[in-house]
């Protein structure tokens, strides 16, 4: 591996990828293309098209960055794997998306607990072509630097998890995917929209920040936004008093529903309020 710089970036070494690695990319890419045409949100599909991301193999980050930079001022920087939180936030705050370079092995096509280049590039980067989402990610980076100073990183990390990684969006055509953790997973792309087991709840900032998550299985709960502007507006206020407010409340398990939760009604997707009440609910005082 090339030298690791003080900001944890490395060279991608695009020439060093083997034919097998490019072949794994193509396999993943083609499989997700088929699944996502009817499941991913429009903004994602537009971004993917705009980038021309590479059905033919692992893309060179420099080519992608040039296109991305023109669209929204973001660039991709190569990193060796997960980087320290403050380093990650500092990159986002400067509109630089840290991407891993390695690709999963053929026997790991379906689930990986750590990000690889397919997740980072095919999952995250297309949405950075969208101006509102691009601003949200920068604001998240700035918010991360602040949250770590305040000791509330766990709550902010949940917001990232349930939006950037596993978010769903309500559209005229029905529920669609925008979370990268879903977009890069064949099984979850199908499960998150069609399976009766997981709960799909209207996005509410404090609710999300209180909800724990699992990194080793399909999600039990998804939060549904109306559009990226709603997400950006809901997260614009200073979180300092909000962190303090919810620090007094218990964390929530992903399997639990609250009285005030508004379930997304798949039968009536345009309904802005409500959703039928199904299943056991707990009042906030019980949990
Ligand atoms: N408004 C948040 C804060 O004050 C920053 C933020 C914006 C965090 C968008 C996440 C997403 O900390
Ligand atoms: Fe990710």
pLDDT, tens digit, for every residue of 121-147? 999 999 999 999 999 999 999 999 999
Banded pLDDT at 223 (limits 50, 70, 90): very high
The pLDDT of residue 2 is: 73
Residue 280's contacts (CB-CB under 8 Å, 6 or more residues apart) are: 257
* Other CB atoms within 10 A of residue 214 CB: 12
* Other CB atoms within 10 A of residue 14 CB: 15
Which atom from ligand 1 is nearest to the alpha carbon of 159?
A: 10
Is 161 close to ligand 1, i.e. is its CB under 6 Å away?
no
Is 9 close to ligand 1, i.e. is its CB under 6 Å away?
no
Ligand nearest to the CA of 215: 2
Check pLDDT > 70 for residue 232. yes
Q: Which residues pair with 76 in a beta bridge?
A: 97
Round the average pLDDT of the chain to a whole number and report it. 92
Annotated active-site residue 22? The verdict is no
Comparison of pLDDT for 112 and 153, the residue scoring more: 153
Is 143 close to ligand 1, i.e. is its CB under 6 Å away?
yes
The pLDDT of residue 175 is: 97
Residue owning the nearest CA to atom 10 of ligand 1: 140
Q: Does residue 209 contact residue 147 with C-beta atoms inside 8 Å?
A: no
Annotated active-site residue 119? The verdict is yes
Q: Does residue 106 contact residue 114 with C-beta atoms inside 8 Å?
A: no
Q: What is the distance between the alpha carbons of residues 235 and 229, in angstroms, rounded to a whole number?
A: 10
Pocket of ligand 1, candidates 239, 240, 243: which has the most ligand atoms within 8 Å of its Cβ, to mutate?
Answer: 239
Q: Which residues have CB atoms below 5 A from the ion given as ligand 2?
A: 115, 180
Question: Which pTM does this prediction carry?
Answer: 0.92
263 by DSSP, 3-state: which?
Answer: strand
Is 149 close to ligand 1, i.e. is its CB under 6 Å away?
no
Annotated active-site residue 152? The verdict is no
* Cα→Cα distances 60→9, 71, 105, 233, Å: 15, 18, 19, 34
The pLDDT of residue 110 is: 82
Residue 159's contacts (CB-CB under 8 Å, 6 or more residues apart) are: 140, 205, 208, 209, 235
Q: Does residue 284 contact residue 259 with C-beta atoms inside 8 Å?
A: yes
Which atom from ligand 1 is nearest to the alpha carbon of 142?
A: 5
Distance 242 CA to ligand 1 centre (A): 11
């Amino acid at each position: 591996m090339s030298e690791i710089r003080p900001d944890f970036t490395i060279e991608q070494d695009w020439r060093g990828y083997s034919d097998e690695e490019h072949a794994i990319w193509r396999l993943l890419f083609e499989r997700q293309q088929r699944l996502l045409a009817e499941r991913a949100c429009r903004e994602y599909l537009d971004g993917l098209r705009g980038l021309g991301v590479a059905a033919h193999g692992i893309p060179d980050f420099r080519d992608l960055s040039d296109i991305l930079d023109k669209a929204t001022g973001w660039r991709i920087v190569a990193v060796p794997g997960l980087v320290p939180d403050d380093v990650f936030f500092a990159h986002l705050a400067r509109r630089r998306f840290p991407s891993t370079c390695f690709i999963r092995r053929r026997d790991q096509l379906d689930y990986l607990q750590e990000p690889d280049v397919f997740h980072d590039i095919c999952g995250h980067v297309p949405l950075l072509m969208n101006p509102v989402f691009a601003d949200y990610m920068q604001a998240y980076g700035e918010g991360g630097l602040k949250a770590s100073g305040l000791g509330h990183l766990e709550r902010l990390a949940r917001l990232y998890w349930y939006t950037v990684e596993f978010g769903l969006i309500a559209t005229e055509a029905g529920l669609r995917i925008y979370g990268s953790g879903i977009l890069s997973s064949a099984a979850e792309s199908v499960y998150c929209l069609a399976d009766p087991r997981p709960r799909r709840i209207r996005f509410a900032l404090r609710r999300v920040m209180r909800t724990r998550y699992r990194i080793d299985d399909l999600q039990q709960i998804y939060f549904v936004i109306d559009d990226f502007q709603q997400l950006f507006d809901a997260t614009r206020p200073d979180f300092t008093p909000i962190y303090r407010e919810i620090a007094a409340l218990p964390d929530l398990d992903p399997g639990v529903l609250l009285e005030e939760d508004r379930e997304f009604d798949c039968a009536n997707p345009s309904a802005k309020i409500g959703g039928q009440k199904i299943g056991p609910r707990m009042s906030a005082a019980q949990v």
